[in-house]
Amino acid sequence: MNSKISGTVDYFNRKRSGLPADKYDVLVPSEIGYTLPKENLNSDAISGLEASINYDGKVGQITYTVGGNVSYAREKFMNSYKPRFNNSWDNYRNSSENRYTGIYWGYENIGQFQSIEQINNYPINNDGQGNKTMLPGDLMYKDVNGDGKIDGYDERPIGFPRDRNPILNFGINISMAYKAFDLKADFSGGSMYSYNQNWEMRVPYQNTGNLLKAFYEDRWHRADPLDLNSAWIPGKYPALRFNDGGHSNYNKNSSYWLTNMQYIRLRTFEVGYTLPKALTEKAKLQKVRFYVNTYNLFSLDKLIKLGVEPEIMDENGLQYPQNKLVNLGINLSF
């Protein structure tokens, strides 16, 4: 590259084999009361790409460097020992052979009931109980196989893995200098991962306690809660139930509670001003620089409304967010 642009590209494919697993060439009866020891049988692979690029430039009196990097790493389970399945559906649903790992399975949410009239005339058994627990605002699930009931045969992959680092990670770094000012900023972000809301983030009054503010502020509710015949006022979230994790709104992993995440976060940011040498030399100081820096100043992501930060895995949201720091400082060189 010419001296202004520099960069790297890496491709990698890490294969592992000999992962412990049960060998079941021989099926011993459960009645012998113990299972056979594991052997080194399975293999998996992570393959991906990392690339970074940097550009040095100058515009008038401003010198700047802009750089970006991206990393894509996808894990696949490769082979297990003589995999066995019952039929083609079992193979599709449960096989890991040569398949991405961590796939998030669930139900697809196709909308919310708009009225009691719609519920009564709905031909699909949405809650498994003849729709008797359904109210306007409740989640409607897609009956993928068309049999009129919502069960395991209607589950499909609906999201990227939620239990590991994002598949795609990227960063942007900027540094600039203008006369006595200097500026540095580092963004990092990720994509191709999911955040799943569960427990306190999904069930209103989970464990008779918590209610997420977002659930209350914009929800389906009756105009007069004491009059069961009053009109329904639409909202975003379903009508509140009390600690009813078994209700069909909450007892399934669905696309409603899953967020396909992308985020970008200003991780470090620093602005500094160096005093003119003429001034500082009088005090026998070589350099005096004032600066402000911050860590985790803000992030742009889809979870802001829910009040959790994007870099957590906990489905119940019960985790401290990363700290936001602002520092003021002086560099002195003698």
Using CB under 8 A as the binding rule, the residues of this chain from 125 to 144 that contact other proteins are 125, 128-134, 144
Least distance in Å: CB of 196 to other proteins?
14
* Residue pointed to by tokens 């040095």: 56
CA distances from 278 to 26, 275, 289, 333 (A): 85, 8, 13, 14
Alpha helices in 222-310, H assignment, sequence order: 277-282
20, 87, 95, 196, 197 from 99: Cα distances, Å? 18, 18, 8, 22, 25
206: Cα separation from own chain's centroid: 22
* Binding of residue 1 to other proteins (CB under 8 A): yes
| Contact between residue 160 and residue 260 where contact means Cβ atoms under 8 Å apart | yes
Residues 273-312, one symbol each (x = binds other proteins by CB under 8 A, - = not), give ----------------------------------------
For the bound state, the minimum distance from the C-beta of residue 104 to other proteins, rounded and expressed in Å, comes to 8
Q: How many residues bind other proteins (CB under 8 A)?
A: 77
**Least CB distance to other proteins at residue 329 (A):** 39
Out of 3, 13, 61, 87, which residue is the one contacting other proteins (CB under 8 A)? 87
Site for other proteins in 91-120 (CB under 8 A): 91-92, 95, 98-100, 103-104, 116, 119-120
Of the two residues 147 and 217, which places its CB atom closer to other proteins in the complex?
A: 147
From 107, 112, 113, 158, residue interacting with other proteins (rule: CB under 8 A): 158
How far apart CA 229 and CA 250 sit, in angstroms, is 25
Asked if 43 is part of the footprint of other proteins (rule: CB under 8 A), the reply reads no
Q: What residues between 235 and 274 interact with other proteins by CB under 8 A? A: 242-244, 246
Beta strands in 137-224 (DSSP E): 139-141, 156-159, 168-178, 181-196, 221-222
Binding residue for other proteins, selected from 12, 18, 57, 145, defined by CB under 8 A: 145
Task: Examine residue 20 and tell whether it contacts other proteins (CB under 8 A).
Answer: no
Nearest-approach distance from CB 216 to other proteins, in angstroms: 18
Shortest distance in whole angstroms from residue 94 CB to other proteins: 11
Report in angstroms the alpha-carbon separations of 177 from 23, 241, 243. 63, 57, 56
Name residues contacting other proteins, limited to 48-77 (CB under 8 A).
48-49, 51, 70, 72, 74, 76
Which of the residues 166 through 225 are near other proteins (CB under 8 A)? 192, 207-208
3-class SS of residue 250: coil
What are phi and psi for residue 195, nearest 5 degrees?
A: -115, 125
Q: Residues with Cβ < 8 Å from 86, sequence gap 6 or more?
A: none
Q: Please name the helix (run of DSSP H) or strand (run of DSSP E) that holds residue 116, with its range, or none.
A: helix 116-120
- The residue range among 121-129, 212-220, 279-287, 310-318 that interacts with other proteins, by the rule CB under 8 A, is 121-129
